[in-house]
């Protein structure tokens, strides 16, 4: 960031490494379940603490940088905790803590096989995610991005059923291809500019680009980051990947992996191309069109899913494009809204996935049509679900409203009412596919629920906490972490830097 001063600090590196160090410990203590899980919890807490310690600096507009080594001639493997990186890292590492507790309850309740592999892969994923958040240049970014791809694969195929294996294949085909696009895009950028360092407002500087080349390059980038961001038509791995255990869907396919995708979209829009170039070559229109179509189509498909996790997956696809849309608006409020939605969608969607997992573990039910009356036996769980659903529909006082409000403001600011219309329509569709679940859960009479109660405490507590967070952030977005303040600063930097 132009305005952000940089100071040398090893904390970003430590934040990445913590969970990586936990991996051998997890593998070595595979015979002792409680010890093994305590490594995960410990790593999650330390990681969050480290990221949190970077927050004051980020709020002051400073970035902690740590160059590890020269990974490619002329390019360092470099970690730079700029405000945007800290913003994303906070969400990912914070929610990992809840997911870890929840995971323990889930895998023991299921009970899942190969739990050691599960927890070890999870830890690698988190290292990669924080690495993505803190990458100072495209090469470092690609390295962590690909590590994330590979580390997620064992989690997607975890159940080792035919369905899971097919999903794993699909996942690999999509993400590996995406990785190649990203590499091609990065190499091309390097060829043009000789630098790959992210820079608020764009890294091209004075380089002259042919309009056709600019569009091609942007599409290459989009092919690279669009898969993880679930932009249609690159989204279809995500619903398939729901074959994974629910905590994986919750953290990775609602937070870490897909948010890495949209994080990357914002990096590309704000830190590679920059708003000026985006507008100059009409790239914002391309992005906005894709995002708009994705939001509507994904919501329509979500309406027709009976499998709860599938419905959540399509809902995720739609909401990811909210963020993309926010970036495509190229306005201060748009960026702010998009970034806030990274954080707020995470707390809401993780709640919903946690709920789906709790229902599955507790009642072995996966389909919405089987959920009649479960609100009466699992009041806390379904209460949390209701909060998440209200938020995703964009109704106050849940945090989903806040991010959507700023997205709407961004559209107005951009003097473009089409995105605003899309947001309103999507809100209605969200209500249409979530509220019936709430309704049948609480008001219809259920069968076979006698003697059933809440899910294990290790699962219910995280659910309640994430739902409460959604509510609190809805009332006071700057609570604890000053997400709003950060988002405003970042969008100012992006728009001011170009």
Partner 1 sequence: MMTLLIDNSPVLIPLIFLATALLIPVVAAKRKTLAWPLAFWATIAVVAVSIFNVRRVICDGPVHYRLGNWAPPIGIEYVLDHLSAFVILVINSVALLVLLHAKKVVARELPHKRVPYYAAVILMLCGFNGIVITGDLFNLYVFLEISALSLYGLIAAGEKQSPVAAFRYLIMGTIAASFYLLGVGFLYMETGSLNMADVKAILPTVIDQPAILVALVLMVLGMGIKMALFPMHGWLPDAYTYAPTTSSAIIAPTGTKVGAYVMLRVMFFVFGVNFVSKTLPLTQIISWLSAIAIIYGSVLAIAQKEMKRMLAYSSVAQIGYIGLGIGLANPMALIGALFHVLNHAFMKACLFLVAGNFRYKLGHSNVSRLTDAVRKKMPWTMAAFTVAALSMVGLPPLSGFFSKLFLILGAYENSAWYFIVIIFISSLLNAVYFFRILEKVYMRPRIPVPGQEEETDVKRDEVSASMLLPTLILAAGLIIFGILNAFIVKGIINFMIPAGM
Binding site for partner 1 (CB under 8 A): 69-75, 77, 113, 142-143, 146-147, 149-150, 154, 157, 160-162, 165, 168-169, 172-173, 176-177, 179-180, 183-184, 187-188, 190-191
Instruction: Compare residues 75 and 238 and give the one whose CB is closer to partner 1.
Output: 75
Question: What's the rounded Cα separation, in Å, for the pair 17 and 271?
Answer: 25
Q: CA–CA separation, 463 vs 354, rounded Å? A: 6
Determine whether 307 is exposed, middle or buried from the number of CB atoms within 10 Å of its CB (0-12, 13-18, 19+): middle
> For residues 55-89, b (16+ Cβ closer than 10 Å) or e, as one string?
bebbeebbbbbbeeeeeeeebbbbbbbbbbbbbbb
For partner 1, the closer of residues 169 and 376 by Cβ is: 169
Cβ proximity to partner 1: between 83 and 223 the closer is: 223
* Minimum distance of partner 1 from residue 210's CB (angstroms): 12
Integer Rg of the chain from CA = 21
Do 427 and 404 form a contact (C-beta atoms < 8 A)?
yes
The smaller minimum CB distance to partner 1, of residues 12 and 223, is found at 223
Based on CB atoms, which residue is closest to partner 1, 48 or 153?
Answer: 153
* Residue 363 beta carbon to partner 1: minimum distance, rounded to whole angstroms: 17
DSSP states of 142-183: HHHHHHHHHHHHHHHTTT-SHHHHHHHHHHHHHHHHHHHHHH
DSSP letters of 41-78?
A: HHHHHHHHHHHHHHHHHHHTTEEEEEEEEEEETTEEEE
The C-alpha atoms of residue 303 and residue 333 are separated, in whole angstroms, by 30
Considering beta carbons, is residue 141 or 481 the nearer one to partner 1? 141
| Shortest separation between residue 224's beta carbon and partner 1, angstroms | 12
Least Å distance, CB 139 to partner 1, is: 8
We find the least distance from the C-beta atom of residue 184 to partner 1, in angstroms, to be 6
Residue with tokens 């590590």: 147
328 touches 269 (CB < 8 A)? yes
Q: Shortest Cβ distance from residue 133 to partner 1 (Å)?
A: 17
- Nearer Cβ to partner 1, position 12 or 383? 12
Closest to partner 1 by CB, 127 vs 316, is 127
Q: In whole angstroms, how close is the CB of 190 to partner 1 at the nearest point?
A: 7
| Residue 212 CB, nearest approach to partner 1 (Å) | 13
User: Which residue, 68 or 297, has its beta carbon nearer to partner 1?
Assistant: 68
CA 41 to each of CA 22, 38, 130, 343, 407: distance values in angstroms, whole numbers, following the listed order: 10, 5, 16, 22, 35
Tell which residue, 279, 175, 168, 278, has the closest CA to residue 223: 175
Instruction: Name the minimum Å distance from CB 115 to partner 1.
Output: 13
Q: Where are the alpha helices (DSSP H) in 304-378?
A: 308-329, 332-363, 374-377
Q: How far is CA 163 from CA 98, 110, 166, 244, 369, in A?
A: 28, 18, 5, 10, 22
Contacts of 225 (CB under 8 A, 6+ apart): 178, 182, 261, 264, 265, 267, 268
340 C-beta neighbours (distance < 10 Å), count = 28
Using the minimum distance from each CB to partner 1, give the nearer residue, 71 or 303: 71
Nearest distance in Å: CB 161, partner 1:
7
Residue 79, phi then psi, degrees to nearest 5 = -110, 130
Task: State the nearest-atom distance from the C-beta of 153 to partner 1, in Å.
Answer: 9
d(CA 434, CA 363): 20
Shortest Å distance, C-beta 135 to partner 1: 12
Are the C-beta atoms of residues 176 and 149 closer than 8 Å to each other? yes
DSSP state of 367: B
Residue with smaller CB distance to partner 1, 31 or 162: 162
**Alpha-carbon span 212 to 221, nearest angstrom:** 14
Looking at beta carbons only, is 77 or 355 nearer to partner 1?
77
């Amino acid at each position: 960031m132009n305005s952000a001063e940089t100071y040398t600090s090893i904390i970003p590196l430590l934040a990445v490494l913590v969970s990586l160090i936990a991996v051998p410990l997890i593998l070595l203590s595979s015979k002792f379940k409680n010890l093994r899980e305590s490594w995960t919890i410990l790593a999650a807490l330390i990681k969050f603490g480290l990221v949190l310690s970077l927050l004051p600096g980020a709020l002051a507009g400073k970035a902690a940088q740590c160059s590890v080594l020269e990974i490619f001639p002329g390019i360092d493997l470099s970690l730079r905790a700029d405000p945007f990186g800290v913003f994303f890292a906070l969400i990912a590492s914070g929610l990992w803590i809840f997911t870890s507790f929840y995971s323990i309850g889930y895998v023991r309740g299921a009970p899942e096989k190969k739990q050691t592999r599960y927890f070890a892969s999870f830890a690698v994923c988190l290292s990669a995610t924080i690495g993505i958040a803190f990458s100072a240049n495209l090469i470092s970014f690609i390295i962590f991005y690909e590590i994330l791809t590979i580390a997620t694969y064992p989690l997607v195929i975890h159940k080792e059923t035919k369905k899971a294996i097919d999903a794993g294949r699909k996942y690999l085909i999509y993400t590996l291809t995406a990785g190649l696009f990203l590499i091609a895009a990065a190499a091309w950028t390097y060829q043009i500019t000789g630098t790959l360092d992210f820079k608020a407002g764009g890294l091209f500087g004075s380089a002259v680009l042919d309009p056709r080349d600019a569009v091609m390059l942007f599409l290459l980038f989009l092919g690279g980051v669009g898969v993880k961001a679930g932009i249609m038509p690159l989204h279809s791995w995500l619903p398939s990947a729901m074959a994974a255990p629910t905590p994986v869907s919750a953290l990775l396919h609602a937070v870490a992996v897909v948010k890495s995708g949209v994080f990357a979209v914002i990096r590309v829009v704000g830190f590679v191309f920059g708003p000026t170039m985006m507008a100059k070559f009409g790239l914002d229109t391309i992005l906005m069109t894709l995002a708009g179509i994705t939001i509507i189509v994904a919501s329509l498909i979500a309406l027709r899913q009976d499998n709860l996790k599938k419905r959540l997956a399509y809902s995720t696809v739609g909401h990811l494009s909210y963020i993309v849309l926010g970036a495509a608006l190229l306005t201060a409020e748009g960026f702010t809204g998009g970034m806030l939605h990274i954080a707020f969608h995470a707390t809401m969607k993780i709640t919903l996935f946690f709920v789906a997992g709790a229902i599955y573990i507790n009642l072995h039910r996966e389909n919405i049509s089987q959920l009649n009356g479960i609100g009466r036996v699992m009041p806390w769980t379904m209460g949390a679900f209701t909060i998440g659903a209200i938020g995703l529909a964009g109704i106050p006082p849940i945090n989903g409203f806040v991010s959507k409000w700023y997205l709407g403001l961004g559209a107005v600011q951009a003097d473009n009412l089409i995105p605003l219309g899309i947001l309103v329509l999507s809100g209605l569709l969200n209500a249409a596919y979530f509220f019936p679940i709430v309704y049948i859960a609480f008001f219809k009479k259920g069968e076979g629920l006698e003697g059933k109660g809440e899910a294990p405490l290790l699962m219910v507590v995280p659910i309640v906490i994430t739902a409460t967070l959604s509510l609190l952030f809805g009332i006071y977005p700057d609570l604890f972490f000053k997400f709003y303040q950060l988002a405003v600063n970042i969008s100012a930097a992006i728009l001011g830097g170009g």
